[in-house]
Amino acid sequence: MNEECLIELPPGLVTVSQVRSTLLQSSLNSLKNLGHFENYLELLNPLHKDVILGSLAPEWLSLAAAEAHYEACDALKLSAEQMQQIGEDVGSRIQGTFLGTLVRRARTVGLTPWLPLAHFQRLWVRLMVGGGVALYKTGPKDVRVEIHLLPLARYAYFRVAFCGVISAGIKLGAGRAVSVRLGNAGNFEHRLVLRSAWV
């Protein structure tokens, strides 16, 4: 099957400069639930502690604050399974809120993972200022997601957890057994490729 572009990379991209606080807060909630929060606080750069912990209402945080968060998360040295599970928890919260009504309506006519995937660009601009995504259908139940100009992708925690975010979106669309893996190596802040398949 020839691949089909479902979401084109937007023109005139600039590097991500701000991140929505809800992304970090969802991550913090998962760390708390799994008992990693105290260790996280010890590893977090104190220069950004007040901003990260004090952002209760949705707001835009600087890239530097987000980098401090993911640097501390990297330093926790969690397993790939733990990072992916956290990413799924985060993805379920964020996408469930954003796409909940749409998904509930679609269930009456037949819901597939292509529905939440088709809204990935809309979700992206709610989470990031800058960067961009492209989405390619590479098979009946296979997709390639490309993320461009995202410095956070240099953190292993972010890369693996974001696999979980993608997995959560596919499961929201009625995918059951979902596989998401990295499709590129190195130079992650310029281009991150994720490949997924499901049944």
pLDDT at 98: 64
Domain 4-198 CATH (choose: 3.40.50.720, 3.90.1520.10, 3.90.25.10, 3.90.1150.10): 3.90.1520.10
pLDDT at 51: 95
**CA dist., res. 92 & res. 161, Å (int):** 12
Q: How, if at all, do strands 191-198 and 142-148 pair?
A: antiparallel
Judge residue 137's burial from the number of C-beta atoms within 10 Å of its C-beta, 0-12 exposed, 13-18 middle, 19 or more buried. Answer: middle
Per domain, the residue ranges of the chain are 4-198
Residues of the chain with pLDDT under 70: 1, 96-110
pLDDT at 93: 83
pLDDT at 24: 95
pLDDT at 1: 60
**CA dist., res. 165 & res. 8, Å (int):** 20
pLDDT at 173: 77
**CA dist., res. 121 & res. 140, Å (int):** 21
pLDDT at 107: 63
pLDDT at 31: 96
pLDDT in tens, 67-95: 999 999 999 999 999 999 999 999 888 87
Q: What values do phi and psi take at 191, rounded to 5?
A: -165, 125
pLDDT at 101: 64
pLDDT at 61: 97
pLDDT at 118: 87
pTM value is 0.91
Under 8 Å between Cβ of 153 and 188: yes
pLDDT at 99: 67
| Residue 98: strand, helix, or coil | helix
**CA dist., res. 197 & res. 113, Å (int):** 10
Across the strands, what pairs with 7?
135
pLDDT at 154: 95
**CA dist., res. 154 & res. 151, Å (int):** 6
pLDDT at 37: 97
In angstroms, how far is the first alpha carbon of the chain from the final one?
17
pLDDT at 158: 96
